[in-house]
Amino acid sequence: MGWLDGWFGSSSSDESDPLGKLDPKLREFLARESPVKYTTQQEQEQQQQQQQQQSQGTAPGKAPVPTAKVLATEASKQQQSQNEEQQQQQQQQQQQQQQQQQQPALPRASLYQDGRYAHLWKNYRPQYEIENETKTDHQKLMDVLEGFKERKAMIGKAALENCAEEQLDWSNCMKYSSWADRATMCRDTVRKFERCYNMQSKLLKALGYLQTYNRSPEVDEDIQMHADALYHRMLDQEAEIEKCKAEGRSVPAFPSLFENSTYKIPVYPTKAQPTAATAAAGAGTGEPGKQDPYEPSQAIMESWQEKLANLPEPERMAEEEALRAEHRAKAIMAKNLQELWNEQSKEREQRRAEGKETIGDKIKRVLGTPNY
């Protein structure tokens, strides 16, 4: 009776479930369609009891002790996971290596060496290759000669760079020195600079700076730095000798500048022998049991002895190595010219066999000139 409930209050069942008087079908519809899920007080109490039981079961004092079997299974699972990760990494590395091998080799002119835009570089050819194909025989010969002349000019430039301090001392002497030094035009400073320039040029030649066959600028820079180091080592040896003479001690025997040198540069004699290597330009081919074809003859060595006899010991060694290197560079240039002439002669013979002989080919064949 509803009016009695209004006077004496509702029952406990009504308070715990206000929707209990609704029709069951209506309650199912509300539970299905309502966005807010309604839970009764009994359901809330049951959920709280379950949470308390779970918290008590996982408490530190009541934590279950793992058995040996459980530990073994966990260790095996970890080992399997590690093995799977290693296998995946190895597979990824193999895939990357295969992709790199499949990718075409890109030229150095490409900024993307990872394979991007490879189709654009498919038919690329460097400019120097195209220019070499279009050059005439005379231009090819002049390239060899001009390359040798250019290297000789580069030796002077490199020697001036190594003697920058001596050149600066000469300039300061002419500007700020005493009147006595100016009256003699800074003779001592000029001699110091001239000696540095001459010795640096000889050391650069001795280390192979004249060679021109496909060498990178990094090698030229290494040769220049090593030549400067050898020159200053020679100055230190001379200062030690003067000090020993002044103190009355015996002069120690210093090794040659090129004897214990660990510096090695590649030698490029000809196109037919690009793999030979020596420690200096006049040290031979580097192959035991084989005579260097670019070594000077006995007559040339005798002509050098007259020039070397009047020089002190350190300068004599540098001068001899420089003469050997210059002789080697000239012999290499002559060999390259001879190979170029032989190649041009074969091309003329091929054109003649194919019936495409030009007027210039006929003139050269009649006159017997290899290059002009």
Asked if 235 and 169 count as a contact pair (C-beta separation under 8 A), the reply is no
- 211 in a domain, yes or no? yes
Query: In the 3-class helix/strand/coil scheme, how is 182-206 assigned residue by residue?
Result: HHCCCHHHHHHHHHHHHHHHHHHHH
Considering its fold, how many domains does the chain have in total? 1
For the stretch 39-84, pLDDT in tens is 667 777 777 887 777 666 544 444 455 566 666 777 777 788 788 8
- 28 in a domain, yes or no? no
- 19 in a domain, yes or no? no
Query: In the 3-class helix/strand/coil scheme, how is 224-248 assigned residue by residue?
Result: HHHHHHHHHHHHHHHHHHHHHHHHC
- 322 in a domain, yes or no? yes
Asked if 324 and 282 count as a contact pair (C-beta separation under 8 A), the reply is yes
- 190 in a domain, yes or no? yes
CA distance 219 to 202: 17
For the stretch 199-232, pLDDT in tens is 999 899 888 888 765 677 888 888 899 999 999 9
State the pTM of this model: 0.54
Instruction: Give residues with Cβ within 8 angstroms of 147, minimum separation 6.
Output: 212
Asked if 333 and 270 count as a contact pair (C-beta separation under 8 A), the reply is no
What is the model's pLDDT at position 363?
Answer: 80
Neighbours of 74 (CB within 10 A): 11
- What's the token pair of residue 169? 């001392």
Query: What's the average pLDDT block by block, 10 residues per block, for the chain (372 residues)?
Result: 51 58 78 70 76 62 55 76 83 75 69 80 82 79 81 90 92 87 87 93 87 74 90 89 87 75 46 38 43 74 81 80 84 83 84 82 73 50
- 348 in a domain, yes or no? no
- 231 in a domain, yes or no? yes
Domain residues for the domain of 241 are 147-282+304-334
Asked if 361 and 352 count as a contact pair (C-beta separation under 8 A), the reply is yes
- 104 in a domain, yes or no? no
What is the model's pLDDT at position 364?
Answer: 76
What is the model's pLDDT at position 372?
Answer: 47
In 3-state terms the chain splits into helix, strand, coil percentages (rounded to 5) of: 65, 0, 35
Nearest to 273 by CA among 253, 248, 294, 250: 294
